[in-house]
């Protein structure tokens, strides 16, 4: 992954929200905060590089990347609300609802979601019907009842239902996997993958989703809010699914290692089948390593 | 407008939300409540009949109609939240957040929004690029910062800003007009309107938006919650823009009459220019009359 792509997309993020309408000041401030303090832009860079690789021109690749990032940011804002995780800190800043109120936080996330759909429509307008229909189905499945929204509902219901490790994994796959699936499968629709490639891509997204989630769960248990840049310790406090709590740290650690092996095998399948065209996913897998930085700490704490 | 279209669309509404995923029970109950207690379906029927008139096949016209209704229902659910209007009753039932919790209400509205975009994408997949791009721009403008979301932010900020009648009108145009614009302009994109028709259509949406809003404002002031089927008296309590409060009832009444005249003139322009193809809007205007039922009561109270 090219560091210049990060710089480029970080600069593009605030530009794709039109501001010519005279925005209400609190909403404007919230949107400014959300688009000018990007995280690692892992998903956006992944989408951008994949789309470029599959022949999309720069401006449209940028639109797709910003769209996926807008969906991601909107999901964080909503996750942090008092009725969801009730978090106070995100990306080292007070959460949007703490600074600008809950209503503004909800409206900002809706503005991002609305804009994301518009950007995807624009970016894909010149593609074939088949590509557009596949891309639309990916967005529907990733974000809707089968993905992010449905997973979040189960996440919140967790305190009232059984807390087995298998249920935790399924929730993690639906929820965290959803935005990764979007970042991987949306640009992949442009490449018309074979049935085998499609299967490997989907499995990769499930493994990556679980990897991300376990790393996050371990971080929630071990890190302070200051270190993580967001409110930690919420899972135990709120009775939310957390694999490090459900399995214990050593078992969570073992699962992390197993998932990394499974993801590597899917990347190997894609390398064989795709003759290099999925190379950007290998680079992405290398970038995932720092996101799993709490592994070693988990090992020593365990 | 054909009453059979109402029956047909009322039956279609719950069917376009996939339920094969094993939905979390509260989310499922909320979505069932929201899709099986339709309102007047004014927007949905308008979209359906217009799309059919402009050559869209039944299944796709149904998708467009359900999409617009999903956006509308989602906006009502979010408007009713404690951090927005803090309403208790909607369509004669307890609001979704009162019955199923705030988080579920937010997730249900996101599920509807996500699904609405998917349905529009499916319905328009076979249309020309130009039609798809115009339709996408209409959705973006109607629902985003220039429309519903931006208008709602100003609505909430109203208690902190000047409360002139002109500002109230502008907020009404942005907010209530937004979903009417979507219902009128989304199917109109299929008809490739001339520049003059486009202008008349946009003006008609502004007038209708203000008509709807004034009728709603008068109802908020005069009706009981039982009569209106939703929580009333919120505007004064929450310092929200309300023309009947800003102008007084007689002046609001006079404005209502003026707007009806302006809307009628736009319909006359469309009848001349369109040679019958906007006839469904005339039928819709006749249906608007019952929605303005509190006019007479306003007159006698004033």
Q: Is A89 on the interface with B (CB under 8 A)?
A: no
Whether the CB-CB separation of B210 and B259 falls below 8 Å is answered with: yes
Summarised one tens digit per residue, pLDDT across range A169-197 is 667 667 778 999 999 999 999 999 999 99
Q: Kindly tell me if the per-residue pLDDT of B300 is higher than 50.
A: no
Q: What is the CA radius of gyration of chain B?
A: 19
User: What tens digit of pLDDT does each residue of A257-272 get?
Assistant: 899 999 999 999 999 9
How far is Cα A238 from Cα B186, in angstroms, rounded to an integer? 43
Q: Identify the domain boundary among A126, A159, A190.
A: A126
Q: Distance (Å) from the C-alpha of residue A22 to the closest C-alpha of chain B? A: 9
Do B204 and B298 have their domain in common?
yes
Given this model, what pLDDT does residue B161 score?
59
Task: Name the token pair of B202.
Answer: 């946009």
CA distances from A29 to A19, A37, B99 (A): 11, 12, 33
Measure in Å the smallest separation between the Cα of A224 and chain B Cα atoms. Answer: 26
In a domain, B132, yes or no: no
pLDDT interval class at B225 (50, 70, 90): low
- The whole-chain average pLDDT of chain A stands at 87
Mean pLDDT of B87-107: 93
pLDDT in tens, A53-91: 999 999 999 999 999 999 999 999 999 999 998 889 888
> Which value does ipTM take for this structure?
0.89
Lowest mean pLDDT among A203-207, B235-239, B275-279: B235-239
Q: Is the four-CA dihedral A102, A108, A110, A116 of positive or negative sign?
A: negative
Q: Is B129 exposed, middle or buried (0-12, 13-18, 19+ CB in 10 A)?
A: exposed
Please list every residue in chain A whose beta carbon sits closer than 8 Å to the beta carbon of residue B153.
Answer: 23-24, 26-27, 103-104, 107
Structural domain tally of chain B?
A: 2
Q: For the segment A78-127, what is each residue's pLDDT rounded down to a tens digit?
A: 999 999 988 898 888 899 999 999 999 999 999 999 999 999 999 999 99
A106 and A161, same domain (yes or no): no
B21 inside domain? yes
- What's the 3-state SS for B101-162? CHHHHHHHHHHHHHHHHHHHHHHHCCCCHHHHHHHHHHHHHHHCCCCHHHHHHHHHHHHHCC
Supply A197's token pair.
């490639």
Which one is predicted more confidently, B237 or B281?
A: B281
pLDDT value for A283: 84
- Shared domain for A102 and A153, answered yes or no, is no
Domain span at residue B8 reads: 1-126
Shared domain for A300 and A169, answered yes or no, is yes
In DSSP terms, which residues pair with A94 in a beta bridge? A89
Residues 7 to 66 of A: which have CB under 8 A from any B CB? 17-19, 21, 23-27
Asked if residue A295 has pLDDT above 70, the reply is no
Domain holding A69: CATH number?
A: 1.10.600.10
**Using 50, 70 and 90 to split pLDDT, how confident is the model at B299?**
very low
Token pair recorded at residue B187 = 């199917």
- What are the tens digits of pLDDT across the range A227-259? 667 777 777 777 667 878 888 888 888 888 899
Residues of A in contact with B140 (CB under 8 A): 114-115, 117-118
Whether B189 maps to a domain, the answer reads: yes
For β-strands A93-94 and B89-90, DSSP reports them as unpaired
Q: Token pair 């721009």 is at which residue?
A: B137
A122 and A47 in one domain? Answer: yes
| CB pair distance less than 8 Å for B24 and A104 | no
Taking 3-state DSSP, the helix, strand and coil percentages for chain A, each rounded to the nearest 5, stand at 75, 0, 20
CA-nearest residue of chain A to B23?
A: A150
pLDDT level of residue A291 (50, 70, 90 thresholds): low
Q: Which long-range contacts (CB under 8 A, 24 or more apart) does A218-221 make?
A: A218/A244, A218/A249, A218/A252, A218/A253, A218/A256, A218/A294, A218/A295, A218/A297, A218/A298, A219/A294, A220/A244, A221/A245, A221/A249
Residues B181 and B245 in one domain: yes
Q: Domain boundary at B66, B100, B126, which?
A: B126
- pLDDT value of residue B295: 45
Measured between CA atoms, the residue of chain A closest to residue B83 is: A103
pLDDT score at B290: 56
Q: Give the tens place of pLDDT for each residue, B109-129.
A: 999 999 999 999 999 999 999
Report pLDDT for B246: 80
Are both A5 and A119 inside the same structural domain?
A: yes
- Low-confidence winner among A295-299, B19-23, B214-218 (lowest mean pLDDT): A295-299
Diameter of chain A measured on Cα atoms:
54
Mean pLDDT of A136-158: 90
Among residues B126, B149, B171, the one where a domain terminates is B126
* A140 in contact with B, Cβ within 8 Å: yes
pLDDT value at position B97? 96
Q: Which of B23, B84, B154 sits opposite A150 (nearest CB)?
A: B23
Q: Does pLDDT of A294 surpass 60?
A: no
Q: Are residues A47 and A1 in the same domain?
A: yes
Maximum mean pLDDT: which of A168-172, A287-291, B179-183: B179-183
Does A152 contact chain B (CB < 8 Å)?
A: yes
Residue A138: helix, strand or coil by DSSP? helix
The predicted-structure confidence for B51-62, as pLDDT tens digits, reads as follows 999 999 999 999
Question: Does B235 map to a domain?
Answer: yes
Query: In this prediction, what percent of chain B has a pLDDT beyond 70?
Result: 87
Comparing C-alpha atoms, which of B78, B83, B120, B113 is closest to residue B95?
B78
Q: Which residues pair with B94 in a beta bridge?
A: B89
Average pLDDT over residues B184-208: 94
> 3-class secondary structure for chain B?
CCHHHHHHHHHHHHHHCCCCCCCCHHHHHHHHHHHHCCCCCHHHHHHHHHHHHCCCCHHHHHHHHHHHHHHHHHHHHHHCCCCCCCCCEECCEECHHHHHCHHHHHHHHHHHHHHHHHHHHHHHCCCCHHHHHHHHHHHHHHHCCCCHHHHHHHHHHHHHCCCCHHHHHHHHHHHHHHHHHHHHHHHHHHHCCCHHHHHHHHHHHHHHHHHHHHHHHHHHHHCCHHHHCCCCCHHHHHCCCCHHHHHCHHHHHHHHHHHHHHHHHHHHHHHHHHCCCCHHHHHHHHHHHHHCCHHHHHHHHC
pLDDT of residue B302: 39
Q: How far apart are CA B139 and CA B49, in angstroms?
A: 19
Contact B186, B47 (CB under 8 A): yes
User: Using 50, 70 and 90 to split pLDDT, how confident is the model at B224?
Assistant: low
- Predicted pLDDT of residue A298: 44
For residue B166, the model assigns a pLDDT of 65
Distance CA B74, CA B69 (A): 8
Do A185 and A260 sit in the same domain of this protein? Answer: yes
What pLDDT digit, counting tens, does each position of A17-40 carry? 987 668 999 999 999 999 999 888
Q: Are residues A46 and A148 in the same domain?
A: no
Across B67-77, average pLDDT: 96
Q: Are residues B194 and B225 in the same domain?
A: yes
One domain for residues B141 and B63? no
* Whether B131 contacts chain A with CB within 8 A: no
On whether the CB atoms of residues B77 and B34 are closer than 8 A, the answer is yes
Average pLDDT score over residue span A285-292: 68
The reply to whether B131 falls in a domain is no
Q: Is the pLDDT of residue B298 over 50?
A: no
Considering only the beta carbons, identify the residue of A17, A103, A136 that sits closest to B84: A103
Lowest-confidence pick of A134-138, A222-226, B12-16, B192-196: A222-226
Question: Nearest chain A Cα to B84, which residue?
Answer: A103
The single-letter DSSP state of residue A55 is T
Q: Which residues of B touch A63 (CB under 8 A)?
A: none
Of A30 and B212, the one with more pLDDT:
A30
User: Does B163 score more than 60 pLDDT?
Assistant: no
């Amino acid at each position: 992954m090219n560091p210049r792509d990060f710089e480029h997309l970080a600069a593009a993020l605030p530009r794709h929200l039109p501001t010519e309408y005279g925005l209400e000041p609190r909403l404007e401030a919230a949107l400014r905060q959300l688009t000018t303090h990007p995280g690692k832009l892992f998903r956006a860079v992944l989408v951008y590089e994949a789309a470029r690789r599959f022949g999309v021109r720069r401006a449209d690749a940028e639109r797709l990347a910003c769209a996926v990032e807008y969906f991601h940011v909107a999901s964080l804002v909503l996750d942090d609300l008092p009725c969801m995780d009730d978090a106070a800190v995100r990306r080292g800043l007070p959460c949007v609802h703490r600074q600008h109120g809950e209503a503004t936080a909800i409206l900002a996330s809706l503005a991002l979601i609305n804009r994301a759909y518009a950007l995807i429509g624009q970016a894909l307008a010149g593609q074939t019907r088949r590509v557009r229909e596949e891309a639309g189905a990916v967005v529907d499945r990733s974000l809707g009842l089968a993905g992010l929204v449905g997973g979040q509902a189960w996440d919140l219901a967790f305190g009232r239902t059984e807390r087995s490790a298998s249920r935790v994994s399924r929730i993690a796959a639906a929820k965290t996997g959803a935005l990764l699936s979007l970042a991987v499968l949306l640009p992949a629709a442009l490449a018309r993958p074979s049935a085998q490639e499609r299967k490997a891509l989907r499995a990769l997204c499930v493994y990556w989703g679980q990897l991300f989630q376990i790393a996050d769960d371990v971080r929630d248990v071990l890190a302070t809010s200051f270190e993580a840049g967001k409110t930690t310790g919420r899972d135990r406090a709120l009775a939310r699914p957390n694999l490090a709590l459900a399995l214990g740290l050593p078992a969570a650690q073992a699962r992390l290692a197993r998932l990394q092996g499974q993801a590597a095998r899917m990347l190997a399948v894609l390398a064989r089948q795709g003759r290099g065209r999925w190379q950007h996913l290998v680079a992405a897998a290398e970038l995932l390593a720092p996101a799993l930085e709490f592994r070693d700490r988990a090992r020593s704490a365990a």
